[in-house]
Amino acid sequence: MTHHKENGLNTEFTQGLIAWQKTSGRHHLPWQSQNVYHIWLSEMMLQQTQVATVLDYFVRFIQRFPTMEDLANADIDDVFALWAGLGYYRRAQFVHQAAKIMVHQWKKQFPCERKKWETLPGIGRSTAAAIVAFAFRQPETILDGNVQRVLCRVFALDGDLIQPAFIQQLWQFAEQLLPENTRDIPAYIQGLMDLGATICTKNPHCEQCPQQKICLAKQQNRISELPHKSNKIQVKKQELFWALCVDKQNRILLVKRPHHGIWANLFCLPCFENEQAYQDFIDEHHLVKMQTLSACPHRLTHRMLNIRTQVFRLPEKPSALANGLWISFENLSDYAKPKPLDRLLMDFYAQSHPSASKKRQDK
């Protein structure tokens, strides 16, 4: 990797970014404070999630769990319910586990060392660095996908982001860019976030960029080709089978997902990965098929799901359906569910209760 100390490009980048952030960056986000709890929670929510999406979730979380102790003492299902729709649901479990550790083991004494934060569930180097940079002005850099893109473009770095050796070089290079004055650390780290999220995006707004005069990718007309990433994520196709069971009171059967795998610990319809297990469930409980819903495709990071759903009524003498909850439609929002299930249930309710659905939309 080429270093740029000799021509002062590093210093110009760093000082320019700090100045730009102070005048044009984001300053009114609800977690921008010295409250370590707020900083940690926001960084967990912001993992692979845009600020605009996180805003409402963060506010609701703080209203429901004002302190770390409130979160640590909460029921995990309440945490999942508030997280529903934010995606990457393992983060909700990590947040709950980490809160317990910080309250009961750390006695709410939050460390200023990055590596100590990395011992908590769900916290990698970049998240830990952001926490200690904002909360304690520690000279630590972040290196999420947005920052990788910024550095590769501004400094015309040709390495492959798939290669661990190049990522390690990027970390070392990013550390060289940190400002010498620790008072500037929060503005610098926030500036990296703001630049990557709002200006130097996949389709960048170069005319608004504070680095446009020194950006080597712009000078070399290589913005579209940087950064390099040699191979795309291999997406596997998978079929799932959902049984939408409705009882005489028009309640819907929800079951809790296992602790591991997709949608861990969320509430879902009875779900099967092969058609034979699905049919065995139908036969065992003598379910009466009412209709077949349209197939529901849903993209996960490494998988494209094709979800096939049928609606069933219970027989006159239903068999016991263990480990499930019968929930009325009005109370479904109290349970954390996979995003495609939320959409499916809303569509199903609109079809089966058109007048009630119209009233809900008119409110």
Cα separation, 282 vs 144, whole angstroms: 46
The separation between the first and the last C-alpha atoms of the chain, rounded to the nearest angstrom, is 59
Q: Which one of the listed residues 43, 118, 180, 275 is annotated catalytic?
A: 43
Cα separation, 8 vs 156, whole angstroms: 15
DSSP line for 248-281: TT--EEEEEPPSSSTTTT-EES-EESSHHHHHHH
Cα separation, 282 vs 288, whole angstroms: 8
Residues 333, 338, 339, 344: is their CA dihedral positive or negative?
negative
Cα separation, 44 vs 277, whole angstroms: 37
User: Does the active-site annotation cover 43?
Assistant: yes
Structure tokens at 79: 């945490």
Cα separation, 27 vs 160, whole angstroms: 33
What single DSSP character describes residue 233? -
Q: Are strands 236-246 and 288-292 parallel, antiparallel or unpaired?
A: unpaired
Active site residues: 43
